[in-house]
Chains A and B, each alone.
Chain A
Amino acid sequence: NAGVTQTPKFRVLKTGQSMTLLCAQDMNHEYMYWYRQDPGMGLRLIHYSVGEGTTAKGEVPDGYNVSRLKKQNFLLGLESAAPSQTSVYFCASSYVLGNQPQHFGDGTRLSIL
């Protein structure tokens, strides 16, 4: 039982390049989330999904797109990377019922030069 797996773990991009971060969960969770973590800022929600084929904007969605084509996968895309998107990105998942904790992956460290 792997839980939440994020790939890649590290990546360096040049400004303007694009990339996709992959999140996979094996807990049959309905909800999935993408956060970014910057020093001293805690985690901020980028986008989330309440089920296969659905996505919604979080607190800081600009510059990112997401897709949830399969229940177990949640993809985060950067179409044209900017230095301000240098951060650590975390994926999480949870059950649909209320009062449930979120389960996190170990993060993707992304640097944009």
Chain B
Amino acid sequence: SQQGEEDPQALSIQEGENATMNCSYKTSINNLQWYRQNSGRGLVHLILIRSNEREKHSGRLRVTLDTSKKSSSLLITASRAADTASYFCATDHVHNAGNMLTFGGGTRLMVKP
């Protein structure tokens, strides 16, 4: 079963607007990560937030983490057409021999020029 669930599944906005994606998860985590996937390509790591952190910034990205609600959000400010991609949250937790990432189903973001 998937640990993380993204909401919404799809989002369409105009260039310049902000995009917010949410992620909920079920069990305790070491950290939560956000990845981006362009069509036909592999996933690219965007940002990692540790379980003891509440907010993190990287350029136009802002990630929040609420461990009491088991949820996270990714905000992309001043979106650009080049931000069009799928975005996935992934929770890092202990699994048998090592650490394991469990991915949500993703949010498909379309930014219209």
B103-A42 in contact (CB<8A): yes
Query: Is B97 within 8 A of A42, CB to CB?
Result: no
Name the A residues within 8 Å of B85 (CB-CB): none
Inter-subunit contact A31/B42 (CB<8 Å): no
> How distant is the Cα of A90 from the Cα of B44 in the complex, in angstroms?
12
Looking at A35, A43, A59, which has the most chain B CB atoms within 10 Å of its CB? A43
Q: Which residue of B lies closest to A57 (CB)?
A: B96
What separation, in Å, do the CA atoms of A50 and B99 have in the docked complex? 9
> Which B residues are closer than 8 A to A by beta carbons?
2, 4, 9, 30-31, 33, 35, 40-45, 48, 50, 88, 90, 92, 95-106
Find residues 1-54 in chain A having any chain B CB closer than 8 Å to their own CB. 4, 31, 33, 35, 40-45, 48, 50, 54
Smallest CB separation, B2 vs chain A (Å): 6
Q: Return the 9 tightest CB-CB contacts between A and B, nearest first.
A: A104-B42, A101-B45, A42-B103, A43-B103, A56-B97, A42-B105, A50-B98, A104-B43, A106-B42
Which A residues fall within an 8 A CB radius of B?
Answer: 4, 31, 33, 35, 40-45, 48, 50, 54, 56-59, 90, 92, 98-99, 101-107
Contacts of A102 in B (CB 8 A): 33, 43, 45, 101
**Contact status A4-B50, CB under 8 Å:** no
Whether A99 lies near B50 (C-beta < 8 A) is yes
CB distance from B60 to the nearest CB of A (A): 19
Known: A42-B2, A42-B105, A43-B88. A48 touches B98 (CB 8 A): yes
Compute how far the CA of A101 lies from the CA of B40 in the bound complex, rounded to whole angstroms. 20
Chain B residues closer than 8 Å to A59, beta-carbon distance: 102
Q: Are B48 and A56 in contact (CB under 8 A)?
A: no
**List of B residues within 8 angstroms of A106 by Cβ:** 40-42
Residues B42 and A107 in contact, CB atoms below 8 Å apart: yes
Known A50-B98, A58-B100, A98-B30: A43·B42 in contact at CB below 8 Å: no
| CB closest chain-B residue, reference A96 | B98
Q: Are B43 and A56 in contact (CB under 8 A)?
A: no
Q: How far is the CA of A33 from the CA of B44 in the complex (A)?
A: 15
Q: Supply 10 A–B pairs (Cβ within 8 Å), ascending by A.
A: A33-B101, A42-B2, A43-B103, A56-B97, A90-B43, A98-B30, A99-B30, A99-B92, A103-B45, A106-B41
